Each structure stands twice: as structure tokens, then as C-alpha cells.
Structure 1
Amino acid sequence: MQKSLLIVLLVAVFGALAIYFFNLQLPAYFSFALGAIIAAAINYMTASTSTAEITPYKGPIMTLYVGNLPYRVNETEVKTLFEKYGPVNSVRLVRDRKTGRRKGFGFVEISEKGGQQALAKLNDFIFQERTLKVREAKSQDTDRDDAE
């Protein structure tokens, strides 16, 4: 979304500069219509190339617990780290309810094969000056059974 908006803005600026420097005498309605058509075409082309990023992985997945994360890290950075090993469906970084600050751990949904590789490679991996702890996440149902 942000990438396509930036491209459309750049095309609009270059188009305006071209009309100014070439001193084209175009009616305002024609310039507007031409700009709208070009923007729609660019938006369509950039949207069709990014649909693979939006479509979640449909095969077997596993959820990994990722601990000792830097507090300043965001979901995109964690997703980029784990995507080296397989398709990532989601990243959830846990926040404190009162302060809204991150607690330094989270969960990554990744393909099962990629998850096994990430588990082997990223446990005790140094990421932004912190040593990550990566484990297979336990389900909440298992935790409740253990408590009883």
C-alpha cells in the first residue's frame, strides 16, 4: 500500500514537471483524467505483484515462541528474520496491557518445515545485540490441563 502510494506520488510530480517544462497547453479536465488513468494503472500493477505477500501459507504450520527479543523490535523485523527459513503467516509481539510497551517476547506462525529450520538456526542466535530463545510454543489447552 505505502509503496504504491509513493510510486503514484512520484509519477504525479514528474507528470506535473513535464507539463510545466514542455509548456503543454492541456485542458484541466484532460490532465486530471490522464493522471487518474495512469495512477490506476500503476496501482493495479503494484497491487497484483504484492498479492503473494498477502496470501497466507496454507500447508502445515507451527507456532514458535520467541523470547529475549529487543524491546524496540517490530513485527516486520521479526517476520523478515524468520522468512529466511519459510513462509510466515503471522507475528504477534506481546505488549504490557497497562503501558503498551513490548514485553520482549512473541509468537511466530511459520510453515512446519521452515519452523524446524528456524528453531535449529535461530535459538541462541544474536539478534540486535540480544540472544534469542526460540522454542515450539505450547498451546493454551495444554497449559490448562497441566494446571489442574
Structure 2
Amino acid sequence: MQKSLLIALIITVIGAVAIHQFGTALPAYAAFVLGAVLVAIALTVVSNQPSSASNAKYSGPTKTLYVGNLPYRVHENEVKALFAKFGPVNSVRLVRDRKTGRRKGFGFVEMSDTGADKALDKLNDYTFQERTLKVREARTQESSGDRD
């Protein structure tokens, strides 16, 4: 919210200067008020648009995918954007070391069932930020204990 307020203020000042320069009969304070009104209208129109589908929580059947060999500096939003190409993503959880707080290079993506199948097919062995991803269907905690 603060970022959009700062952008609105900057646009208002620039608009006021432009209106004052090109509309010489208009005093500076009136140009500022006119710019503020125009920005308020623009922000109202933008904020009333429906939010994108990527922000909506998918409520159908989901799968959780294990994603390995992630770049250590990758952010959740970047991983979400990558997987969102294949279907709605509910959550991305990148695992961190408890002591250092650094990412461990793997994580989990919860997404629609059909999207997960497509992502698994397309993104396993996919090169992402100079790393080759390993994508698998995540095992439940009960079944992960019986590794041989």
C-alpha cells in the first residue's frame, strides 16, 4: 500500500508540473489538485479490477510436488511463477536450514492435480536459473520413513 501511495504522489507531482507548464492559465496549486484527482481516479479503477487467478486459492484436488536442485537464491514467487504456467498453485514452501536460515536447495509446491502432472512431466530435468530441477511427487511423512 505504501508503495502505491508513493507512486501516486510522484505521478501527481509530475502531472501537476506538466499541467502547469502546458496550461499556463492554471495556477500550480490547481494543477496539483487536478493531478491528484486524476491519480485517485486511476487508482480506483485499478483497485476495482478483479484480482488475478494466481492469487486465488485453488479448491479442487491437489498434489504436492517435491522440487530438488533449486538455486539457493531463488524466491517463492519465482518458483510459483514457473509452476503456475501449468496450473493453479496453492503454495510454495522452500526448505531452510534451522540454524543458519539459508535455503537448502529444495522445496514443495502444492498445486492442482492436473497441473501437477503437467509440471512433473515438463519441469523434471528442466534447466532453471542454471540448475537442473528434479521434480517428483512428494511422499507423505508416513511413507518417507520406510526408505531402504
The answer to whether the superposition gives a TM-score over 0.5 is yes
Task: Please tell me whether the aligned partners of residues 66 and 108 of structure 1 are also in contact (alpha carbons under 8 angstroms).
Answer: yes
The offset of 1:140, in angstroms, is 2.8
| CA shift digits 1:83-124 (9 cap, x unpaired) | 111111111111112222111011111111110000111111
- What's the Cα RMSD here? 2.9
Q: Is the 8 A contact 2:20 2:27 kept in 1?
A: no
Question: How is 1:93-112 mapped onto 2 (pairs within 5 angstroms)?
Answer: 93-112=94-113
| 1:38 Cα offset (Å) | 3.4
Query: When the two structures are superposed, what TM-score results if normalisation uses the length of structure 1?
Result: 0.78
State how 1:125-140 maps to structure 2 within 5 Å.
125-140=126-141
SS in 2 for 1:51: coil
The AA in structure 1 aligned to 2:44 is Y
- Structure 1 range deviating more: 85-94 or 43-52: 43-52
Aligned residues: 144
Please list the CA deviations of residues 58-77 of structure 1 after superposition, one character each: whole Å capped at 9, or x if unmatched.
Answer: 22111111011010111111
After superposition, what is the alpha-carbon deviation per residue over 1:19-52, rounded to whole angstroms, capped at 9, x for unaligned? Answer: 4313422657x944861x4333322322333512
Alpha carbons of structure 1 residues 27 and 131: separation in structure 2 relative to 1, 3 Å: closer
Partner of 2:49: 49
Partner of 1:114: 115
Listed as ranges, the gaps of 5+ residues in structure 2 are: none
| SS, match of residue 93 in structure 1 | strand
TM-score by length of 2: 0.78
User: More deviation in 52-61 or 121-130?
Assistant: 52-61
1:83 paired with 2:92, answer: no
